[in-house]
């Protein structure tokens, strides 16, 4: 039986020590420490590790951190929503996003051509520039192949980017596939539609990508999931692993409540009723803002793995 222990600051305290101390504080702090230990086990156990996140996290400063994790060999498969693809490309082309305010005058922002994501601002002009970028990218891809999957498109674009902080760039470099089942749900999808109006033989094969994520692992391979947020990105990875015997390890991080019955709020315990996570798996759900919880957990993971020379570039 573990006892509650008071958290104390110590001079020179690193993140790993802080997270370890939080493991004795109680409430969600305990889950942070459990999440850290679960991710370390994933890596040491040789798991195929799936990282899923929603686009708002790429809007934030977590984007470069995700890219770094791919570079360090912590991620084998990425699943995200299409806004994350768009904004990764925008940032790779030097578009800056601004920290604003949750309580902004949104009508006034609209009149100024500013779009709000929580307390972050994106200029409409950034999307106009994105349109200019998409045309040559798609033309080049079309010249090579008329029928492509979304993951192939992302890989081709990633190979052309020159930004160490880009998710697409690092994924292409490390041969980590990026899946986005709802590729039409955003500006990216609109530009695919517009391109197809002039090139009717251009086909984006989403079903083929479903086959690709299914065959990204097997029944015999150990599988781990780090799911940030929820929605289709979370479920797509879970479904692929379900059809391959279920997850051996899982860490969910979300602000959603399980009481809603939503995928975003569904806990690791609920997933066991579907066989998505094995009944003897090491799994934990952390409730809290991922912009806070994930850096705490993942930096402490990196510190631990670095000490054991388990990171690679």
| In the predicted structure, residue 26 carries a pLDDT above the cut 70 | yes
Give the tens place of pLDDT for each residue, 205-228: 999 999 999 999 999 999 999 999
> Regarding predicted confidence, which is higher, 53 or 262?
53
Residue tagged active-site, from 146, 276, 278, 307: 276
Q: Are strands 277-287 and 223-228 parallel, antiparallel or unpaired?
A: unpaired
| pLDDT > 90 fraction of the chain, expressed in percent and rounded | 83
Can you list the domains of the chain with their CATH numbers? 45-97+124-291 (3.40.910.10)
Q: What percent of the chain has pLDDT over 70?
A: 100
pLDDT digit string (tens) for 220-255?
999 999 999 988 999 999 999 999 999 999 999 998
pLDDT tens sequence across 166-209: 999 999 999 999 999 999 999 999 999 999 999 999 999 999 99
C-alpha to C-alpha distances, 40 to 136, 188, 280, 306, nearest whole angstrom: 41, 35, 17, 11
Region of 94 (left: φ > 0; alpha: ψ -120 to 50; beta: rest) is left
Q: How confident is the model at residue 277 (pLDDT cuts 50, 70, 90)?
A: confident
Whole-angstrom distance, CA of residue 243 vs CA of residue 223: 12
Question: What confidence score (pLDDT) does residue 199 get?
Answer: 97
Over residues 132-157, the mean pLDDT reads 97
Which residue, among 60, 86, 38, has the nearest Cα to 298 in the 3D structure?
Answer: 38
Strand partners for 228? 53, 253
- Between CA 203 and CA 221 the distance in angstroms is 32
What mean pLDDT value characterizes the chain?
A: 94
CB distance 228 to 52 below 8 Å: yes
- Residue 313: the pLDDT is 67
Tens digits of residue pLDDT in 58-116: 999 999 999 999 999 999 999 999 999 999 999 999 999 999 999 999 999 999 999 99
Q: Which residues of 143-170 are buried (b: 16+ CB within 10 A; e: fewer)?
A: eeeeebbbbbbbbbbbeebebebbbbbb
Establish whether 276 is a catalytic residue.
yes
């Amino acid at each position: 039986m573990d006892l509650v222990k008071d958290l104390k600051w110590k001079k020179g305290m690193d993140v790993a020590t802080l997270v370890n101390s939080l493991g004795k504080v109680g409430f969600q702090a305990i889950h942070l420490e459990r999440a850290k230990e679960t991710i370390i086990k994933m890596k040491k156990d040789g798991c195929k590790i799936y990282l899923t996140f929603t686009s708002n996290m790429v809007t934030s400063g977590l984007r470069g951190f995700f890219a770094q994790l791919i570079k360090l060999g912590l991620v084998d498969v990425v699943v995200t929503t299409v806004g994350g693809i768009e904004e990764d490309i925008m940032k790779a082309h030097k578009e800056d996003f601004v920290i604003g305010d949750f309580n902004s005058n949104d009508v006034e922002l609209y009149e100024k051509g500013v779009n709000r994501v929580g307390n972050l601002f994106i200029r409409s002009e950034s999307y106009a520039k994105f349109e200019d970028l998409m045309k040559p990218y798609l033309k080049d891809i079309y010249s090579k192949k008329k029928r492509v999957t979304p993951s192939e498109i992302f890989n081709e674009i990633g190979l052309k980017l020159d930004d160490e902080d880009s998710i697409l760039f690092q994924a292409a470099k490390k041969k980590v596939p990026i899946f986005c089942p709802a590729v039409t749900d955003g500006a990216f999808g609109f530009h695919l539609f517009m391109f197809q109006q002039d090139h009717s033989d251009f086909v984006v094969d989403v079903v083929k990508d479903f086959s690709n994520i299914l065959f990204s692992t097997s029944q015999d391979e150990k599988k781990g999931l780090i799911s940030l947020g929820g929605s289709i990105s979370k479920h797509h990875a879970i479904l692929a692993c379900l059809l391959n015997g279920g997850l051996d390890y899982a860490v969910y991080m979300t602000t959603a409540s399980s009481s809603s019955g939503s995928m975003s709020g569904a806990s690791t315990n609920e997933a066991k009723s579907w066989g998505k996570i094995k009944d003897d798996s090491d799994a934990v759900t952390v409730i809290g803002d991922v912009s806070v919880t994930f850096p705490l957990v993942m930096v402490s993971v990196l510190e631990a793995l670095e000490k054991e020379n388990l990171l690679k570039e």
